[in-house]
Structure 1
Amino acid sequence: MAASLFDSQLYASLFSAGDISRLFSDSAEIRAMLLVEGALAKAQGKLGLIPEDSAAAIGRAVMEVALDPGALTQAAGQNGVPVPGLVSALRDEMNAPEHAQYVHWGATSQDIMDSALMLRLRQALAAVETDLLILLTQLSDMADTHANLPMAARTYGQLATPTSFGAVVATWGQPLAALLEELPTLRQTCLLVSLSGAAGTSSALGPKASELRAELAAGLSLVNPHRSWHTDRSPVLRIADWLTRACTSLSKLGTDCLALRQSGIDELTTITAGASSTMPQKQNPVAASALIALASQATAQLSALHHAAAHQHQRDGASWFGEWLSLPQIVFCAASAARTAVSMTKGLAPDAKQMLRNLHAANGTIYAEALSFALAEQMRRGDAQTAVKDLCAKAAQEGVPLQEVATAQFPELDQATIFDATRQLGSAPEEAQRFVRTVAALKGRKEST
């Protein structure tokens, strides 16, 4: 088994992070750091901090050179960061000492690496957002179609009251829609440029340090934080938290689909089931299981990321290294979960006949709450509940529907309303339609930006 399943050819289709996996490759990190170095030189040249011809030469070089990650291995191991080796290699490749001396002018390794990280996290967020929008469209269509399809709601794993499949779908999608509504603010407050120098004081960046940071932010289309955030990892934590919450919401989808396809319930059908090596009858809910596993992994890695967030003094290698170990895994989990959910829900459909059979299971006692409130109109609420408990016990003992024993004892009740699932849905259809409207509004705002 590969050290990371996200890098495995064997498990590539089970835990696929798509193009995001390439964002956290060595080559992608080097390319992002070079882009930052080039943007820094351009900003410094514009402000007259380094010669403009040197800035132009550096800008050309970062676009043209191809640095081999293997050539930076020894330097990265010795220095704890790849930037010194990268800067040295870039200067050598430029073959123009008069210009190369201005590479990395006044910056520190963390400025380059954190800014490069944000460039890649920006792409990762965009990719996850795209998949979640596709998923929400699929779920919205499903909720709209089945807003009034009755099924059994379950609490503590037991039959509770009737709901609709559309409302259940809405519970899968609403948290995801809320997450996408958070994204503009997240981007504006967390996708930050970093430029504060060796100890966060910008001392080597000169009197135009603040102006330079703003120029670099504009050049990279990142946000200017107006401060140093070398040891404040809250921007990274908030992005990781958003990705983990996406995993958790998708895990709810997986958990419910796993349960609703369980033998004896069988209320969902899918075209993405897996086969057993020895049991021909099996149709294993592989995708649903993957969603649950991915959320578990992301949550564990987020905990580790929080542990690594408290940096000592103005720079802390140990804590920073811990971030490197955990953050990519969280990104991969979210990307893989979103892609998996899109694929799984394409072939997902309710089995209306089985849902109806399950509504009638357990002697129809799913209507006990409705019956107790109907009786409460003619007796005390406590007495009504006691009476219905007795009726449920009698139905179970005699193996007959609750409606039958209730009719015998209380013939004056409106049995057609009490024991009709379509008339006991409460707000379920509206919950489904509210979700449909939420997704439509979300897509409308996205299209207008």
Structure 2
Amino acid sequence: MSTTVFDSLLFRDMFGTPEMRDIFSDTAYVQRILDTETALARAQARTGVVPAEAAEEITKRVDFAGLDLERLRNETEIVGYPVLPIVTQAAEQCGEAGGYLHWGATTQDIMDTAVMLQCRQGIDHLQGQLDRVRHTLADLAHEHTDTVAAGRTHLQHALPVTFGYRCAVWLSALDRHAQRLQQARERALMVQFGGAAGTLASLGSGPEGLRTRAALAAELGLRDPEITWHVARDGLVELVSLFAAVGGSLGKIAWDIMMMCSSEFGELAEPFVPGRGASSTMPQKRNPISSELMFAAAKLLREKSSTMLDAMMQDFERATGPWHLEWAAVPEAFLLLSSSLHQAEFMLSGLEVHTDTMRRNTHITGGLIVAEAVMMDIAPVVGRQHAHELIYDACRTAIESGTTLESQLLAQPTLVEQIGPDRISHLCDPARYLGSAQAMTHSVVRQDRGR
């Protein structure tokens, strides 16, 4: 029986993905610990710390399949960490060579490095997901560059925009996040090898310690840090905080789409799948399930980021408690972001865009959405201040009488005489007041496709 949404048979694929669960599974974690231990033996053989024959035996004999997992579970609970129980069983597999396993290392060295290997694989998966979402958004932005829609500020009609412009704004944030993610992985994915207090004293005061750490980093394809980071957790904090930011941007997309899917707007609909978003009592319902899950993930990711910030405050050279917070927060953050990206890819790739409704909705305020456009256009003719007063009065009258801005302007003989009725009708068309929306949309799409 599961106790969390992450391992629930019912909910796990709504708050994670099978691929990311595999990356952060117990099996994968133990295997990464074994990978780290065998890589350490090879690195130490290269630097002359342990005999080459021992490293060869360790690499050949250490085998996940040979572990007693029930014994490992029991001993982990007793010790408080899994490394010593794993090393004990792995050393038993290696015979005499097992005496050189885990040479000079401390538990946190191995656990941190194993997590770094998991994080690298997880980031690879997230980057692929993010790229697919960006590609889908670029297609939407390109397709709807000229699809006129109501721009809304404070949930009120403001000025006309295009749906492509809105998609390009969403895309631009994800493009920047993709750059941040690449930069963060280069900073954060570091090998950990410092020994008991981080000083590598177990390997002596000569160059062997630092040379071994560099060799271990090369073996595993991780960055060799300048100094031990047992209690300097900024790398993992950067990753989880970035995940929260990406989740927030996805949550913003979800919020916009949920609003545009509402019955009153009717401008979008999530992809139709029989039964998806259905109600047990209302057969007409088609709820925006993917957007809702993205929105929930954004809120949960913020919590993980907060937890990681708490975990930064560690005492002296080894923490008494904060480190344990990461054991829950890091895998869950990867799962949540992977889930949100999965939902975004599914939803955006099949999004139903009701272009006629978008255009029709620009007129529901009787043309008031172009009030600024008309004012700016007639100002050179009648003067800036008079234009403002004239349009202000016309808007007020249109609201009070339930008519349109165009009809109120056409009812003013002086204005009609000055600029003509055809010009007034043209000015009241939302499609003519889009500013640089289309140019900016094209710019974002070009940059995204160029990358």
Query: TM-score band, normalised by the shorter chain?
Result: over 0.9
1:187, CA displacement in angstroms? Answer: 1.9
Confirm or deny: 8 A CA contact 1:65 1:93 kept in the other structure: no
Q: Which of 278, 281, 285 is the equivalent residue of 2:288?
A: 285
1:173, CA displacement in angstroms? Answer: 1.2
Measure, in 1, the Cα distance between the counterparts of 2:230 and 2:62: 24
User: Aligned residue for 2:120?
Assistant: 122
Task: Note if 1:391 corresponds to 2:389.
Answer: no
Partner amino acid, structure 2, of 1:203? A
User: Aligned residue for 2:171?
Assistant: 173
Measure, in 2, the Cα distance between the counterparts of 1:241 and 1:70: 35
Report which stretch shifted further, 268-277 or 78-87: 268-277
1:211, CA displacement in angstroms? Answer: 0.9
Confirm or deny: 8 A CA contact 2:63 2:90 kept in the other structure: no
Task: Note if 1:402 corresponds to 2:411.
Answer: no
Task: Note if 1:195 corresponds to 2:204.
Answer: no
1:41-67 alpha-carbon deviations (Å, 9 max, x no partner):
000011111010100111112346442
Measure, in 2, the Cα distance between the counterparts of 1:64 and 1:70: 13
Measure, in 2, the Cα distance between the counterparts of 1:307 and 1:249: 23
User: Aligned residue for 2:139?
Assistant: 141
Task: Note if 1:158 corresponds to 2:156.
Answer: yes
RMSD: 1.6
Confirm or deny: 8 A CA contact 2:255 2:291 kept in the other structure: yes
Q: Which of 103, 106, 124 is the equivalent residue of 1:105?
A: 103
1:133, CA displacement in angstroms? Answer: 0.8
Q: Secondary structure at the match of 1:406?
A: helix
Q: Which of 319, 324, 327 is the equivalent residue of 1:324?
A: 327
How high is the TM-score relative to the length of structure 1?
Answer: 0.94
Relative to structure 1, the CA distance from residue 202 to residue 390 in structure 2 (aligned partners, 3 Å threshold; closer, same or farther) is same
1:323, CA displacement in angstroms? Answer: 1.5
1:28, CA displacement in angstroms? Answer: 1.1
Measure, in 2, the Cα distance between the counterparts of 1:2 and 1:158: 44
1:408, CA displacement in angstroms? Answer: 2.3
Partner amino acid, structure 2, of 1:319? P
Report which stretch shifted further, 84-93 or 71-80: 71-80
User: Aligned residue for 1:433?
Assistant: 442
Aligned residues: 440
Q: Which of 389, 401, 420 is the equivalent residue of 2:429?
A: 420
1:165, CA displacement in angstroms? Answer: 0.6
Measure, in 1, the Cα distance between the counterparts of 2:227 and 2:109: 12
Measure, in 2, the Cα distance between the counterparts of 1:416 and 1:212: 77
Task: Note if 1:351 corresponds to 2:354.
Answer: yes
Measure, in 2, the Cα distance between the counterparts of 1:295 and 1:428: 28
1:103-160 alpha-carbon deviations (Å, 9 max, x no partner):
0000011110111101000111111111111111111111111101100010111111
Relative to structure 1, the CA distance from residue 382 to residue 205 in structure 2 (aligned partners, 3 Å threshold; closer, same or farther) is farther
Confirm or deny: 8 A CA contact 1:65 1:90 kept in the other structure: no
Confirm or deny: 8 A CA contact 1:177 1:438 kept in the other structure: no
Structural mapping, 1:184-333, within 5 Å: 184-206=182-204, 207=206, 208-272=208-272, 273-333=276-336
Q: Secondary structure at the match of 1:151?
A: strand
1:201, CA displacement in angstroms? Answer: 0.5
Confirm or deny: 8 A CA contact 1:175 1:249 kept in the other structure: yes
Report which stretch shifted further, 376-385 or 328-337: 376-385
Measure, in 1, the Cα distance between the counterparts of 2:2 and 2:424: 61
Confirm or deny: 8 A CA contact 2:243 2:333 kept in the other structure: yes
User: Aligned residue for 2:374?
Assistant: 371
Relative to structure 1, the CA distance from residue 382 to residue 68 in structure 2 (aligned partners, 3 Å threshold; closer, same or farther) is farther
1:271-329 alpha-carbon deviations (Å, 9 max, x no partner):
24511111011110011000000000000111011011111010013010112122211
User: Aligned residue for 1:446?
Assistant: none
1:349, CA displacement in angstroms? Answer: 2.7
Report which stretch shifted further, 391-400 or 412-421: 412-421
Q: Secondary structure at the match of 1:48?
A: coil
How high is the TM-score relative to the length of structure 2?
Answer: 0.94
1:87, CA displacement in angstroms? Answer: 0.7
User: Aligned residue for 2:345?
Assistant: 342
Measure, in 2, the Cα distance between the counterparts of 1:312 and 1:382: 65
1:396, CA displacement in angstroms? Answer: 1.5
